[in-house]
Structure 1
């Protein structure tokens, strides 16, 4: 059963949801001048969904033991519990709560309209990733092709003019799992991993914001994983950036993660082998040691940011090898720590997060080393990183600090000063609006 605190959190969330019937920025801080916001081409209508598609799903938070009991991660509107009682910015955030986090922030969006005919885009507050749990880990595992069918019937039939106006092209939603988890081909018998939500033709026109997108579907776009850092004010963000800037980097490279213990050659095994064979204890290029491994096997790091953030603050480079899927939350944790990410394939970030981390800028804040060179040709990662001039490393870290506000999700109800800086949510909404605008123009040309 969910705790009393969780029930109260859900109740408050429901109350705030009711406020979306008002046309303007009803939930934003009172120090904001509503007339200062230019909403041209930015109006968004939030579809009112029955709670079975979002809030009711939270009441089942302890019913999927094969996944996890996610009740502890619901407080603070999906940010999770504070890392300690006096914390203002750090929470035990679970990435699967992104749908809640995004929904709560949408209630503060300054250009909401109750009139869908005036909207440039329509947001669907459907918790697709949480709804998928019954198909991935629960009683509906053999009916994965049904995921989304009831939801589509509702959005098409309830106030049908909203959907019919652009056949769903102006709709978008957030999915807090990799797109691969929603892309099981229809008709698979027996079913394989995942649901078929993104394979349903009914949703082909909807823009899907996911933590990891596939390469080919036009409607999918990756947005950053939520980290544990959610500052409520500009002062707290700037304080953290100052700490990151002055942090002493005593370790050349760090890997925080699991895996790499199988006999089969792979990049994680190569990283672990290289780190275990690196036993430098002297000052080399300004570093006391070559490599450190923070073992995060079995999810031990996921809700304990102290376990990995402190080592990241002390490392110059953070290794980001692919795992079960190409992307990692650790990429964004390392950016928050000022630790320069090292990628081993483009799908890990470069071809994913171009709204938040422009592809043409990757050489300014990250290092790319082909995994095949390391695994099969014996290229030593440490040799590549040691060969980068210190002046370039310093410039790369400054670029990381510059990008930091773009990849974090600030806390809801944040101060006016912080809201002058675009965060991951702002950029995702802006990107969705632009993509929908572009797509509607294409459809108009195709049908003319």
Structure 2
């Protein structure tokens, strides 16, 4: 009898304990959910599904301060305002002397100032073909304006004055202007100013603490003109280059893994209020430009002889001179398809002229790399043709004529949706080329951090107390780490 009573007491005790535990469990969940304002999600660090120019492609990079890593939740900034705290990319910019940047545009500093007061006036950038590679101008202006009170441009990138808080380090050298204007020596110079500036830049960079911390891997160097930085690119190879293509770079110096491809600034006028359609664009296929080119550009000659007598195909020589831009604008605005053929290098601004014209690009350049292709599907608004196929007699025209009105219209509509991604503006606007380039840089930041952390695995403290620093280039160790 005593045993039965004892068993009953034990069962009741266990039931009581279970009931109390269950009650506490539900109460804890109730208070936990009640203490929040809703679920908090960390966005995908590599968004690749929404190329809409009106959307924010926020990569949400983590930020390392000292030994702690803080992951910020990305939030949409208030409409019309910019709060630097919401920036997805923090950028430290070297205060290079004006002869590296706006001084090349004949801007004169006031006193000991390094930068123009852009709240009052903005130095002019040279026109004509110089504008193709003016990316350095637009990105620098965007950084300078990023901390101005009442800034209305988006908060994609913001300038910070403390490099330890930065994701990347920006090198404000206007390399395209330097190449275009100062490559040839001017008496009594024996060496062109462009070469001298590059030598000075390398000497300056390798002495900086920011360089020594990373070996230059988190540094952004602008070399958009294919011939810019010719004398220093091999020395600065660990950096993140912003380029138009990889045509004149060996793959160990520039590659899609670490570098950024940025669009040219188009030369022809935008097609504003485009009310054209398949029938009103009477030219089937349009090309006007230099025909006789070297390297990969030999294909232009072959296509010229194949297409010059084709009905409703315009294929002719043209240049910026003698009203060439106005002619090209009229021609591309009245054409269904526009050829983008490899020239001296795999890319040209003709692709971006076509996008601005809503003329469906036909890309014949096997080695081309395209801006922000990790988030933008070019096949939705472009036709890609292998060079070996394009030079087959009748192949190209047959392919283009076989594209239906419905398919062309879908591509034409998509061109109008994405054209803003290729526009350089100041002040910058949401989803434009400036913001898209900063977002592309932000998507590289996690990989840069990964490589730097891997390099420090066995040499974080060389003498037992000081953090590991990179030597001038530390090429051998860096190459070994890359091949692990």
Q: TM-score over 0.5 for the alignment? A: yes
Q: Does the CA contact (< 8 Å) of 2:89 and 2:442 recur in 1?
A: yes
Q: Quick one: distance in 2 between partners of 1:228 and 1:244? A: 21
1:53 deviates by 1.4
Alpha-carbon offset, residue 332 of structure 1: 0.2
What is the CA–CA distance in structure 2 between the aligned matches of 1:147 and 1:44, rounded to whole Å?
A: 23
Aligned to 1:45: 92
Question: How far apart are 1:241 and its partner, in Å?
Answer: 5.2
> What is the count of residue pairs matched by the alignment?
347
- TM-superposed CA distance for 1:152, in Å, is 2.0
Inter-partner Cα distance in structure 2 for 1:331 and 1:32: 32
Cα deviation 1:272-318 (Å, max 9, x = unaligned) = 2244312x4xxxxxxxxx21135324x427x8632212211110100
Q: Distance in 2 between matches of 1:406 and 1:149?
A: 34
Secondary structure at the counterpart of residue 129 of structure 1: helix
1:438 and 2:447 correspond:
yes
Match of 1:227 among 249, 266, 269: 266
Q: 1:261 to 1:242 in 2, by over 3 A?
A: closer
Q: Does 1:374 align with 2:407?
A: no
Structure with larger Rg: 2
Partner of 1:148: 198
| Partner residue, 1:210 | 243
* Distance across 2 between alignment mates of 1:161 and 1:404: 40
How big is the shift at 1:220? 3.3
State the alpha-carbon separation in 1 of the partners of residues 173 and 81 from structure 2.
Answer: 30
Structure 1: runs of 5 or more not aligned: 1-29, 61-74, 82-90, 183-194, 231-236, 281-289
8 Å contact from structure 1 (residues 224, 424) kept in 2: yes
| Residues 363-415 of structure 1: per-residue CA shift (max 9 Å, x gap) | 2211122222333x3244211100112211111112222221111112x136x
Relative to structure 1, the CA distance from residue 403 to residue 142 in structure 2 (aligned partners, 3 Å threshold; closer, same or farther) is same
CA distance in structure 2 between the partners assigned to 1:198 and 1:276 by the alignment: 40
Specify which structure has the higher proportion of helix: 1
Partner of 2:143: 106
CA 1:78–1:333 in structure 2 vs 1: closer, same or farther (change >3 Å)?
farther
- Name the CA shift for 1:122/1:305 in 2 (closer, same or farther; >3 Å): same
> Unaligned 5+ residue runs, structure 2?
1-77, 108-120, 147-154, 458-484
Matched, 1:306 2:306: no
1:78 offset after TM fit, Å? Answer: 5.0
Shift of 1:339: 0.6
- Say whether 1:35 aligns with 2:83: yes
Match of 1:196 among 231, 244, 248: 231
Q: Could you tell me which residue of structure 2 aligns to residue 15 of structure 1?
A: none
Aligned residue in 1 for 2:217: 169
What is the TM-score normalised by the length of structure 2? 0.63
Alignment of 1:21-420 (within 5 A): 32-35=80-83, 38-39=86-87, 41-59=88-106, 77=123, 94-109=131-146, 110=155, 111-133=158-180, 136-138=183-185, 148-157=198-207, 160-178=208-226, 181-182=228-229, 195-200=230-235, 203-213=236-246, 214=249, 216=251, 217-218=254-255, 219-228=258-267, 240=272, 242-243=274-275, 248-260=280-292, 266-278=298-310, 280=311, 290-293=312-315, 295-297=317-319, 299-300=320-321, 305-348=325-368, 352-355=369-372, 357-358=373-374, 361-375=377-391, 377-410=392-425, 412-413=426-427, 419=429
> How far, CA to CA, are the matches of 1:271 and 1:77 in structure 2?
42
Q: Give CA-to-partner distance per residue, 1:144-184, whole Å, 9 cap, x none.
A: 97662311222333xx3333232322211222302x654xx
Residues 306 and 76 of structure 1: CA distance in aligned 2, closer, same or farther (over 3 Å): farther
The residue that corresponds to 2:16 in the other structure is none
| Alpha carbons of structure 1 residues 359 and 343: separation in structure 2 relative to 1, 3 Å | farther
The Cα RMSD (Å) is 3.5
Q: 1:76 to 1:49 in 2, by over 3 A?
A: closer
Q: Which runs of 4+ in 1 moved over 3 A?
A: 34-37, 75-81, 132-147, 241-247, 357-360
Question: Which residue pairs with 2:463 in the alignment?
Answer: none
